[in-house]
Amino acid sequence: MLGGVLGPMLAQGVIARRPRMTALAQRRHLDDRADAILRRMRERYGAGPLRLRVPGRSVALLLDPDDVHRVLRDSPEPFAADTREKRGALGHFQPHGVLVSHGAVREERRRFAEAVLDTGHPVHRLAGTIGVTAREEAARCADLARVTGTLDWPAFAAAWRPMVRRIVLGDAAREDREVSDLLTALRGRANWSYLATRRPDRLRRLRRRLGAYVDAAEPGSLAGLVAAVPAPDRADRVDQIPQWLFAFDPAGMATFRALALLVAHPDVLARVPGDDGTLLRGAVLESVRLWPTTAVVLRDTTAPTRWGGATLPAGTALGVVSSFFHRDPATVPGADRFDPDRWSDGRADDGRTLLPFSAGPVVCPGRELVLLVAAEFLRALLGRATPALTDGPLDAARPLPHGLDPFGLRFAVPPDRPGDGRG
């Protein structure tokens, strides 16, 4: 079972996606098979935590929505978010980040991150500047696609990543590919967690470059807020930034998949011009529900924990396979359909089965910011181009696949939009 469920996730890359393995997983329907295996396990062993035989590690997979709710509600204590696996992986590029911190220092770092990211506020204080940046980069992306006639992942990423650098670090960072390259290299090693040797030289270079942007404190950027928001020294302001840059990469994949979903569902796409942002946010949330960017939500027990008739020892790794719950037809009506309205009409607010950005006290602090950026980017892109999906396994008349390789998506883009006056 470990090979059929966790194997494909690890092979595709937990921290940095491996394009070849992601394509292979889609071709062989490995994600569909993983969810099917877990359903058989639940039928066979029941809904209680499924203990796995892992040498040197106590591991349990959660198969019941109420158990998931309990763990996420009671994080980070007694269910710690800084698991052994996260510390091994994220330590490569953010050794003092929130996700690998615990106790009082974690609270300080989390408060700082929330203050910069405006956690809990649908509209970030820098929404005006962020919106302009997103629209400018989306317009460049659309105009180039209209010239080449094609929009694929490299073309999309060539606009998304400069936009992210501008939002996080400031306009001066638009062409600073070294920041992105350093982070990408460190993330590649992070895929191997403790098995890969650390590269402190690269980490120091990354921190120096990020620190320079904080020192410059460009107005309208998150780096400007990093410099301005009060925080104790051990909050390590600079070390929080790699997580934001990192998180925007899978957010870009979710946005690209959302574009594919919209194009594959013309009835929904037709509603975009009159949308106030609700529909596009829902499309991105559906993208993450259908193809989670965090394959497994992890927690560690910090003390012996009674669960049913058994006790889980302290240090037990608890795993929540997101897609297993997101695609469960027993709890999610239309689990294999694209339904962005479920996120605005209350059907997706149970906090037990749909966890695109996790939930509870450890919910992703950048949730609202990511949705704001993605919606603005999609709106501008669709306002200047009319993509048609040419490669990809999406069919609105059939259940959506459990795996969708963003690197393999390709859109045809006509050179002109009727009536827009462009040649």
Express each pLDDT in 327-385 by its tens digit: 999 899 999 999 999 999 989 876 678 989 999 999 999 999 999 999 999 999 999 99
Kindly report the number of other CB atoms within 10 A of residue 229's CB atom: 16
For the segment 36-46, the average pLDDT, to the nearest whole number, is 90
Measure Cα distances from 372 to 232, 379, 422 in Å.
29, 11, 28
Residue 100: predicted pLDDT: 96
Q: Is the pLDDT of residue 1 over 60?
A: no
Q: Is the pLDDT of residue 32 over 60?
A: yes
Residue 2: predicted pLDDT: 58
Q: Alpha carbon 373 to chain centroid distance?
A: 13
CA distance 365 to 230: 18
Token pair in block for residue 191: 């895929």
Sheet holding 388-391, edge to edge: 150-152, 410-412, 388-391
In 149-199, alpha helices (H)? 153-169, 177-190
**76: cis peptide before it, omega within 30°?**
yes
Looking only at the bridges linking them, the beta strands covering 317-321 and 57-61 are parallel
Q: Is the pLDDT of residue 97 over 80?
A: yes
pLDDT averaged over every residue in the chain: 93
Residue 420: predicted pLDDT: 52
Q: Alpha carbon 398 to chain centroid distance?
A: 25
Could you tell me which residues are beta bridge partners of residue 71?
none
Least confident residue range of 5-9, 148-152, 251-255, 327-331:
5-9
Q: Mind giving me the DSSP string for 39-57? A: HHHHHHH-SS-EEEEETTE
State whether the Cα torsion 243-246-250-256 is positive or negative.
positive
In terms of Cβ atoms closer than 10 Å to its own Cβ (0-12, 13-18, 19+), residue 48 is: middle
Kindly report the number of other CB atoms within 10 A of residue 389's CB atom: 18
CA distance 195 to 187: 13
DSSP structural state of residue 74: T
- Token pair 């006639």 in the structure block, residue: 149
Q: Is the pLDDT of residue 399 over 90?
A: yes
Residue 48: predicted pLDDT: 82
Segment holding 79, helix H or strand E = strand 79-80
CA distance 353 to 324: 9
- What is the separation, in whole angstroms, between the first and last Cα of the chain? 56
Range 35-412 classified under CATH 3.40.190.10? no
Q: Alpha carbon 397 to chain centroid distance?
A: 27
For the segment 303-321, the average pLDDT, to the nearest whole number, is 91
Measure Cα distances from 395 to 156, 338, 389, 390 in Å.
22, 10, 10, 12
- Residue ranges of the domains in the chain? 35-412
Higher-confidence residue of 2 and 279: namely: 279
Residue 232: predicted pLDDT: 95
**Are 246 and 187 contacting, i.e. CB atoms less than 8 angstroms apart?**
yes
Residue 246: predicted pLDDT: 96
CA distance 160 to 370: 12
Residue 422: predicted pLDDT: 43
For the segment 384-398, the average pLDDT, to the nearest whole number, is 88
**Are 408 and 191 contacting, i.e. CB atoms less than 8 angstroms apart?**
no
Residue 349: predicted pLDDT: 72
Can you tell me whether residue 310 is helix, strand or coil? Answer: strand
Please provide residue 310's backbone torsions phi and psi, each rounded to the nearest 5 degrees.
-125, 170
In 46-126, alpha helices (H)? 65-73, 84-90, 103-117
In terms of Cβ atoms closer than 10 Å to its own Cβ (0-12, 13-18, 19+), residue 276 is: exposed
Looking only at the bridges linking them, the beta strands covering 310-312 and 305-307 are antiparallel
For the segment 21-26, the average pLDDT, to the nearest whole number, is 90
pLDDT tens figures, 100-130? 999 999 999 999 999 999 999 989 999 999 9
Q: State the pLDDT confidence band at 8, using cuts at 50, 70 and 90.
A: confident
Q: Is the pLDDT of residue 163 over 50?
A: yes
Q: State the pLDDT confidence band at 417, using cuts at 50, 70 and 90.
A: low
Percent of the chain scored above 70 by pLDDT? 96
